Structure 1
Amino acid sequence: MATTRLGEAEVHTVGELPAVGSAAPEFTLTNGDFADVTKTPGKRTILDIFPTISTGVCQAGVRAFAKLAPGLDNTEIIAVSQDLPLAVANYCGAEGIEGLIVGSAFRSGFGTDYGITMADGNWRGLLARSVVVIDTDGTVLHTQLTPAIGTEPDYEAAVAVLR
């Protein structure tokens, strides 16, 4: 179990992020067309994980990773939340955001498998803000659970492992 904060409240997750150097758990998410999304074999993957696209910080994270995407060779960025896939896809479309994949976890055990479902607090059941970077062979290169849900992740640390 890991700990982050939601406002002033301490919040626990159901587990821990996968360890750097370990094999990333396989996942199946749902995109804006309700099709399955999995890690593309042979590509590096950044999982931008957040509670809901309805908050400014979550929106900022999606925009920031989308801006970084063109400079990252052989890398896909998947925006992961418990939101319905239409919500994130509609937000990205309305904002002109391109370069990332919508990946809703609403049908899957992703949050449990990655240890980042919030187990308590007002937002229990949503995903805690975090980042996981996975290499082409499925090895975890980097993880970060932000110290607070309202804190943006360290974008530079996430992409630095890919350079």
Structure 2
Amino acid sequence: MIAMLVSANAFAQAPNPPLLPKPTVTKDDPQVYNVTRNGLEMNVQYRGPRECALAFLQQAREEGWNKEEQAEQAAKVPPGGYLLGYWSRSTAALASAEHFTITVEAADGHPIVRWQSPVSKPEQLRLGTSILYTEVVTVHLPVPLADGDRVLVEESTVKKRFVFVIRL
């Protein structure tokens, strides 16, 4: 089963949000098929337990882990998989994860997990003559995501809210 994140509403703060181009689904990582791109503004990826297990087995084979190392590393994988958030902004202060809150909700609206970072150090990315500051965060999920679950990303500095809906 292949999961996909579909952007439901990029700007929820305004009564009449501006029209945005429809996000395109890309295949950035051969093990993760569910990538939604919204320009450089907000990217979200979900790697479920099955994809985590496949990546784990591949890494164990490549690195020649023994049974003890495999057990130690397997204990680090969360039961619901991972959610990755990636964004780029024009200044380090705006890109800081301290200004972002990620909430994962079930289809019925009850929260699965809420993530907020107390500290952050965005990376610098040079694009031609421009410099962008990027941040990548990992959210560990206690349960696998299902069809209709939502990922809400709130940016406090500019009052933006990104909503992604899981489609399996």
Q: TM-score normalized by structure 1?
A: 0.28
| Higher helix proportion (structure 1 or 2) | 1
Select the structure of larger CA radius of gyration.
2
Q: TM-score normalized by structure 2?
A: 0.27
| Higher strand proportion (structure 1 or 2) | 2
